[in-house]
Amino acid sequence: MIAKELKRGIITENSIFVLALGLCPTLAVSTSVKNGLGMGLATTFVLICSNIIISIVKNWIPGKVRIPCYIVIIATFVSILHLLIKVYTPTLDSQLGIFIPLIAVNCIILGRAEAFAAKNNPATSLVDGAVMGLGFTAALLILSTIREFLGGNKIFDLMVIPGFQPMAVFILAPGGFFVIACVMGLINYFRGKKGAKAKV
Amino acid sequence: MTDTIKLILALTLISLIAGFAIGKANYRTKDRIAAKQQAARQGAIDAVFPEGFKIKEMNDDGGILPQKYWIAFSDDKLSGYAFEMAGSGYAGDIRFMVGVGLDGKILGLTVLEHHETPGLGSRVNEVASTKYIWFPFGGDDKTKPWFTEQFEGISTLRPIGVEKSAGEWHRLSEQARAGLRDRNAVSAITGSTITTAAFTRAIERSVSKYLEELGGYCCPATRKKREAEAGAAAGENGEETEGGDDS
């Protein structure tokens, strides 16, 4: 069951490559593996916490004000997380800067609250938050590895190929789009192939 | 009607709980965050002077000089000043500490706080590593960010150039670096010229003014005299010790 859930979060319902949610922070922080990892884990934390709380309180929230309520809950966790990051890893705070507070408006989190946590019990919501967060983190890791290598000849701040001239465009937003498009295309190509085979 | 009240109640209650939780978290972390920031600032002051300098904090009433600045002694002789500056970068203010020798040349520079784009402007703190992923133990282990290192030796009394075409400092040859120094220029971070210019502009705008005001040593006396001559009271006092660029 866990393997199935993991596959759902990381591959079949991957938030970036399949659902195409949360692309703004993805473009912004997938410039280096360190940033991508930090952002992915931070988002996973918020996703798990908000999913649990929302699935607990869902029955007491009137439908008309559910979105503002969800946003308040999400923003609360983001604020608390921001304080914790400032205490424990100030360097991550200075690297990610504005994108930590902006986790509050990441569509994946509100998306999971609305699509999953509001209809399921706390335990399954926890699992959903965890696997979706891991999927987001995995996607960020893939993108940031490619972008940091092509744009800076580095992976995890370590040099890769001696004498390789990095292409700065991959660190910039356009390069981010190129990489996301290529990876998405590849994934769809292979999934399409598999689907076609299954039909035959 | 009762429906409306229900909506208001639900939202109010959730907001109250949320506010309480954040307040609690803030209360429990604020001392530690302040301590971390204080330590970072102290580290920054130490880092802008060469080793062995004795550093003393000075206070001013916030006229031309910032309210707080630092003077450093080497062998009991006044050898430099440090100022906290703020320049407007691509996203918000960049706060940094700059150490200046008596000749107006920069001794060191450290970034305290910035909100620049990750991967672009945030590279002000990037350390140019020569370690390879295949063999992470070799290569030299630098600790100073290349961007701030290139400011060492730049004169604050002349305009500071920002050169884009030269390439980034950490990839330049010794000759190219010497050329930059001769032209009193720094190399821009690729794709982040605004960030780079935030530093040079803040320094150009304030440091020479401060140095002039300080005269040589013992500034407050010189300052008081000049103020009396001008017969004008010092400008408004800000609360923060921001680089004084608003004075």
The DSSP bridge pattern shows strands B93-101 and B68-74 to be unpaired
Question: Percent of chain A having pLDDT more than 90?
Answer: 58
Query: DSSP character for A198?
Result: H
Rounded to the nearest angstrom, the minimum Cα separation between B112 and chain A is: 9
What is the rounded average pLDDT of the residues A64-89?
A: 94
pLDDT at residue number A85: 94
Torsion sign across C-alpha atoms A41, A45, A48, A51 = negative
Q: What is the overall mean pLDDT for chain A?
A: 90
pLDDT in tens, A88-103: 998 888 778 788 999 9
pLDDT in tens, B20-32: 999 999 999 999 9
pLDDT in tens, B22-78: 999 999 999 999 999 889 888 888 889 988 888 888 888 767 888 888 988 888 888
Question: Which of A4-8, A139-143, B242-246 is predicted least confidently?
Answer: B242-246
pLDDT in tens, A40-53: 999 999 999 999 99
Domain assignment present for B140: yes
CB count in 10 Å sphere of residue A116: 18
pLDDT at residue number A98: 80
pLDDT at residue number B247: 38
CB A147 within 8 A of CB A171: yes
Q: What Å distances lie between residue B231 and A185, A190, B66, B222, B238, CA to CA?
A: 72, 80, 20, 14, 21
Helix, strand, or coil here: A177? helix
**Residue owning tokens 């040099």:** A159
Distance CA(A59)–CA(A23), nearest Å, equals: 31
Domain assignment present for B222: yes
Q: Which two tokens stand for residue A102?
A: 């902006």
**Residue owning tokens 């000759």:** B175
Whole-angstrom Cα Rg for chain A: 18
Q: Which helix (H) or strand (E) holds A199?
A: helix A173-199
pLDDT at residue number B133: 76
Cα three-residue angle B199-A172-A97, rounded to 5 degrees: 55
**Domain of B63?**
48-230
Domain assignment present for B144: yes
* Cα atoms in the Cβ-side hemisphere of radius 13 Å centred on B59: 4
Question: Which of A13-27, A61-75, B66-80, B119-133 is predicted least confidently?
Answer: B119-133
Closest by Cβ to A69, choosing from B10, B113, B129: B10
pLDDT at residue number A192: 83
Question: Which of A66-75, B13-22, B162-171, B210-219 is predicted least confidently?
Answer: B210-219
pLDDT at residue number B136: 67
Torsion of CA B183, B189, B190, B194, to 10 degrees: -90
**Cβ within 8 Å of residue A19, ≥6 positions away:** A13, A108, A111
pLDDT at residue number B239: 42
pLDDT in tens, A180-198: 999 999 998 988 887 666 6
State the distance between the two ends of chain A, measured CA to CA, in whole angstroms: 28
Contact call for A65 and B3, based on CB within 8 A: no
Domain assignment present for B2: no
Helices (H), chain B: 2-47, 146-149, 174-182, 193-214, 219-230
Task: Using an 8 Å CB-CB cutoff, list chain A residues near B139.
Answer: 159
Q: Which two tokens stand for residue B31?
A: 């001392």
**Residue owning tokens 């630098």:** B142
Q: Which residues of B touch A (CB under 8 A)?
A: 3, 6-7, 10-11, 14-15, 18, 21-22, 25-26, 29, 32-33, 36, 40, 91, 113-120, 122, 125, 127, 129-133, 136, 139, 190-191
pLDDT at residue number A171: 85
pLDDT at residue number B236: 45
**Cβ within 8 Å of residue A113, ≥6 positions away:** A50, A51, A54, A70, A73, A74
Domain assignment present for B27: no
pLDDT in tens, B121-164: 888 888 877 777 777 666 666 678 899 999 999 998 889 999 98
Domain assignment present for B193: yes
pLDDT at residue number B244: 40
Domain assignment present for B4: no
Task: Using an 8 Å CB-CB cutoff, list chain A residues near B127.
Answer: 157
Rounded to the nearest angstrom, the minimum Cα separation between B200 and chain A is: 21
Question: How many domains does the structure of chain B reveal?
Answer: 1
The ipTM (two decimal places) reads: 0.84
pLDDT at residue number B222: 53
Domain assignment present for B7: no
